[in-house]
Amino acid sequence: MEEAILPNQTSLTYFRLRGLSTNPKVQMAVFAMFLIFYTLTLMGNILIVITIIYDRRLHTPMYFFLSNLSFIDVCHSTVTVPKMLVDTWSEEKLISFNACVAQMFFLHLFACTEIFLLTVMAYDRYVAICNPLHYMTVMNWKVCVLLAVALWTGGTIHSVALTSLTIKLPYCGPDEVDNFFCDVPQVIKLACIETHIIEILVVSNSGVISVVCFVILVASYAVILTSLRKRISAGRRKALSTCAAHLTVVTLFLGHCIFIYSRPSISLPGDKVVSVFFTAVTPLLNPIIYTLRNEDMKNALNKLTGRKEGKEEK
């Protein structure tokens, strides 16, 4: 008869990250791709934050939340991509137990905060388009700051809850995480006890948050699109452009969350591909989508990059 394993009997001090591939040529290609994506992500999102701070015309609720989104994307990609770049040149791809827990905590902190932020941004667009005369009254700076504090608080509570569930489990082997970073669904499968109830709690937490926020977002955009039918063509085009950009980001980001966290911890062939988009591609697409489809941002970027020329002309 096997001896019962108690929660304080965790013996693993390291996990092995399986990564994306063991083929050296594929690893080189993956390294180059992630390095390019990560560099562009940092440059693009930091440039957006600097531009919004610099240009007073962008000191509005919409761009306040957009700067938060860019900050979160920088943090979100930094949680996983640098470690992945280092592991590309390592044969063992080890990560300590504490580092794995920290990676899961910050991954879910930034991911959940971004979900709440995208929902708040949808509400901001709803008020701006459907109730423009009262927009600055409803979305005043006090409300914006309170919403920002609330979404960061909600992300922290969510992350603490999931990480607490994971860290209390005993881990005595196997030690191989089937991904290139630590995430709750892959890690809890390595526990030495039955984790069916934990998996249900993960689905009911992350999965429900993702699905509920997605439904709210779709409903809000349905109302916005209905309202836009009554607008003149010029105003409609600008509003549609903003909403299309936001909806693209929402679909890419929440699509991953629903795919990964709305089912039990069963590995599927597409999990790693979806994880690549989640950690490396989506944070890069956000600045591209919001700048290329936004005239105000493009004008502000041109003003920022041409600042010295403008002064010389004066």
Is 313 among the domain residues? no
Is 19 among the domain residues? yes
Q: What is the pLDDT, as a whole number, of residue 101? A: 93
Phi, psi of 270, rounded to the nearest 5 degrees: -85, 0
CB neighbours of residue 262 within 10 Å: 15
Q: Is 262 helix (H, G, I), strand (E, B) or coil?
A: coil
> How many structural domains is the chain composed of?
1
Q: What span, in angstroms and rounded, lies between the C-alpha atoms of 71 and 44? A: 11
Does the pLDDT value for residue 270 go beyond 50? yes
- pLDDT per residue as tens digits for the range 283-298: 888 788 877 667 778 7
The closest of 286, 283, 279 to 183, measured between CA atoms, is: 279
Is 257 among the domain residues? yes
Q: Kindly state the DSSP code that residue 2 receives in the 8-state scheme.
A: P
CATH for 70: 1.20.1070.10
Is 196 among the domain residues? yes
Is 132 among the domain residues? yes
Is 215 among the domain residues? yes
Does the pLDDT value for residue 1 go beyond 70? no
Q: What is the pLDDT, as a whole number, of residue 265? A: 62
* pLDDT, averaged across the chain: 82
Is 43 among the domain residues? yes
The domain in which residue 182 lies consists of 8-299
Is 231 among the domain residues? yes
- pLDDT per residue as tens digits for the range 74-125: 999 999 999 989 888 887 888 999 999 999 999 999 999 999 998 898 888 8
Q: How far is CA 97 from CA 118, 184, 187, in A?
A: 32, 13, 10
- pLDDT per residue as tens digits for the range 209-247: 888 888 888 888 888 877 777 665 556 666 676 677 777
Tell whether omega for the bond before 24 is within 30 degrees of 0, i.e. cis. Answer: no
Spatial strand order in the sheet of 94-96:
94-96, 14-17, 176-177
Does the pLDDT value for residue 310 go beyond 70? no
- pLDDT per residue as tens digits for the range 145-199: 999 999 999 999 999 998 998 888 888 878 888 888 888 888 888 888 887 888 8
